[in-house]
Structure 1
Amino acid sequence: MIYVTVEFFFFLDDRQRISAVFFSCLLLVLSFIALRASFQYFPKVSFLKNLPVLSQATLRPTVSLDDTLNYEARQDVQTRTSWNAPIIWELMFDPNFYDKKHLEAKTAVALTVFAVGRYLDAYLNTFLTSAEKHFMVGLPVTFYVFTDQPEKVPNITLAPLRHLKVIKVERYSRWQDISMMRMKTISEIIEKELRHNFNYVFCLDVDQEFKGRFGSEALGESVAVLHVYYYKLPKTQFTYDRNPKSKAYMEEGDYYYHAAVFGGSCDAVKALADYCYLNTMEDKLNNVEALWHDESHLNKYFWLNKPSRILSSEYCFDPRINYMTEVIVHRLVWAPKQYAELRT
């Protein structure tokens, strides 16, 4: 190929040779600029704790314990989907057994959270301190904090094998755009780093607080959480996007999922993030915005690609609710919303 290219070059006249050289140099310069730009996002990293040595191999989930679940332990709620995926409730699993098996398998988990603008001051400290106390306790965990103000991230005390990493991101003027770009950012960090070092990744909203065990029973290939306000309602009342012009458009679905919590293997979460981002961008090009933004696209994705594990509303609960007695453990709860102050 090189020989043919060089031979062809000598058949050109002087003007054509100059043009060829010029455009080759231009292409080289543009390639260099693109390469440099691609690294603008990731070098802005603050290491607040010593991080584990990075691997080059893709890690995969290695533990499957669904056959040990006690589906009959809860007669008051649905414990299995029509496609045979478990819906995890208190009393269905043995926490000590799950933890023992995942420790033996050396399961490693990443947790991503975005704290941009005023959300950092309002929620991040509570989120991180409660996560360290309740999220995957005993397992190797790295908390990935994406923020526009890395210098303000609290330096919390972490147990052995627990790490905190801060990555600077751009702040967008509209919270809807922040929500959209979250998916792109998650996909990028999975491809660059997480898939080489973690069996699972969970992605959570920052305006939440851990109140109880959020442990290894939640781990699975593709994990969604039931929205606390919808799982008992008829499907006709689910707030899917009903606009046929949107890529998130749905006529029907299985459940209504909350985008405040999702997770799974790195490959599964990357596929979800890519789907949501690309479809959001296509909507944007068509001057369309899905009803509930990334949550609408997430629900469409899980309708087309069934999650292998569903977490009950124990794993994302609104403490203002006092009538759902079947939710006997509040593992992760919504923090008080301050939209008027935080989204301006």
Structure 2
Amino acid sequence: MVGHKVTYYIFTDQVSNIPAFTLGTGRKLVTLEAPSYQRWQDVSMRRMEMIRDQSHQRFIHEVDYLVCVDVDMRFSDEVGVEILSIVFGTLHPGFYTASREGFTYERRPESTAYIPRDEGDFYYAGGFFGGGTVEEVYRLTNFCHNAMMVDKERQIEAIWHDESYLNKYFLYQKPTKILSPEYLWDNDFAAPDFLKKRRFVAVSKNHNAIRNKRALQSVSGIEGNLHR
């Protein structure tokens, strides 16, 4: 968003670990404390609740457009106002050439994220969405969070967590703009010839090590509280 005012909102359960940044003119960083969860799945899913609540309480008063992105990513090329719309979705880099039958939608009818095998247009990534009015992002995240809570009562967890509910929302509430995988790429995938730019790229990491570390830290903290 070169040339525009930008506020970076960072959700984290480790506020004290956010380093000081020197930002350009018209840019500011706001750190928002988030609850800590033992399971990485809960960290991922509960962000819908956090975005929804902050959209109602804060974002609606401070910004015109709201873009929601994973934190473990790196901007490697320009991303500008061309992404903005009422609400956008981004094609998942692993499924943009797949047929509908190959999409990893939630297929259990008992889940609120359920999508029948004969429905669905695209498979959207959970790591880059929004780009629209705060009101529309509120509606999206409110739907996803409420659907998750219904499933939680039923002791169901959608196959790809918040991404499954995002895809269910976009099934019937079509995004007004769809971004190509150049806006959300993972270098673990072989890049096709037509992909001339990789604008927003996943940081290389060991997923299992990070997730196991979180689980061990949470268990250690629980044990410490019990001993005291």
TM-score by length of 1: 0.60
Q: Count the aligned residue pairs.
A: 209
CA distance in 2 between partners of 1:334 and 1:188 (Å): 27
Aligned residue among 185, 202, 207 for 1:339: 207
Unpaired segments ≥5 residues, structure 2: 213-228
Q: Corresponding residue for 1:304?
A: 172
- What secondary structure sits across from 1:272 in the alignment? helix
- Residue 79 of structure 2: which of 214, 217, 221 is its match? 214
8 A contact 2:94–2:189 mirrored in 1: no
Matches within 5 A, 1:311-326: 311-326=179-194
> Is structure 2 residue 120 aligned with structure 1 residue 253?
yes
- Give the alignment partner of residue 171 of structure 1, picking from 24, 30, 36: 36
Which stretch shows the higher mean deviation, 317-326 or 281-290?
A: 317-326
Amino acid at match of 1:274: N
1:248-290 alpha-carbon deviations (Å, 9 max, x no partner): 0001201000000001110111101000100001000001010
Distance 1:233 1:259 in 2: 17
Q: Displacement, 1:232?
A: 0.8
Q: Scaled by the length of structure 2, what TM-score is found?
A: 0.89
Indicate whether 1:183 and 2:48 are aligned: yes
Per-residue CA distance 1:155-174 (angstroms, 9 max, x = gap): 11101110001111210111
Distance 2:32 2:186 in 1: 29
Equivalent residue, structure 2, for 1:280:
148
Matched, 1:198 2:63: yes
Q: Which runs of structure 2 are paired with 1:14-93 in the superposition (5 Å)?
A: none
Letter aligned with residue 331 of structure 1: R
Give the 3-state SS of the residue equivalent to 1:278 in structure 2: helix
Give the deviation of 1:304 after TM superposition: 0.8
After TM superposition, list the pairs within 5 Å mapping 1:106-185 onto structure 2: 136-185=1-50
Measure the CA separation in 2 of the matches of 1:224 and 1:171.
27
State the Cα distance separating 1:322 from its structure 2 match: 3.1
Identical amino acids, percent of aligned pairs? 40
In structure 2, how many angstroms separate the alpha carbons of the residues matched to 1:279 and 1:323? 35
Residue aligned with 2:126, SS: strand
Kindly report structure 1 stretches of 4+ aligned residues shifted beyond 6 Å: none
CA RMSD between the two structures: 1.0
- Which letter maps to 2:181? S
Whole-Å separation in 2 of the counterparts to 1:323 and 1:145:
30
Supply the distance in 2 between the matched residues of 1:169 and 1:331 (Cα, whole angstroms).
28
Equivalence for 2:129: 262
Pairing partner for 2:92 from 212, 227, 239: 227
What's the CA shift for 1:320? 2.8
Which residues of structure 1 form unaligned runs of 5+? 1-135
- The superposition leaves residues 225-246 of structure 1 with CA deviations (integer Å, 9 ceiling, x where unpaired) of 0001111111110111101110
Task: Return the offset for 1:329.
Answer: 0.6
**1-structure distance, mates of 2:62, 2:88:** 19
Question: What is the CA deviation profile of residues 16-37 of structure 1, one whole-angstrom value per residue up to 9, with x for unaligned ones?
Answer: xxxxxxxxxxxxxxxxxxxxxx
Please report how far the alpha carbon of residue 217 of structure 1 lies from its aligned counterpart in structure 2 after TM superposition. Answer: 0.4
Residue aligned with 2:129, SS = strand
How far apart in 2 are the matches of 1:153 and 1:323? 33
Q: Secondary structure at the match of 1:239?
A: coil
Q: Which of structures 1 and 2 has the larger relative contact order (alpha carbons within 8 angstroms, sep 6+)? A: 2
Q: How far apart in 1 are the matches of 2:188 and 2:156?
A: 33
Larger radius of gyration: 1
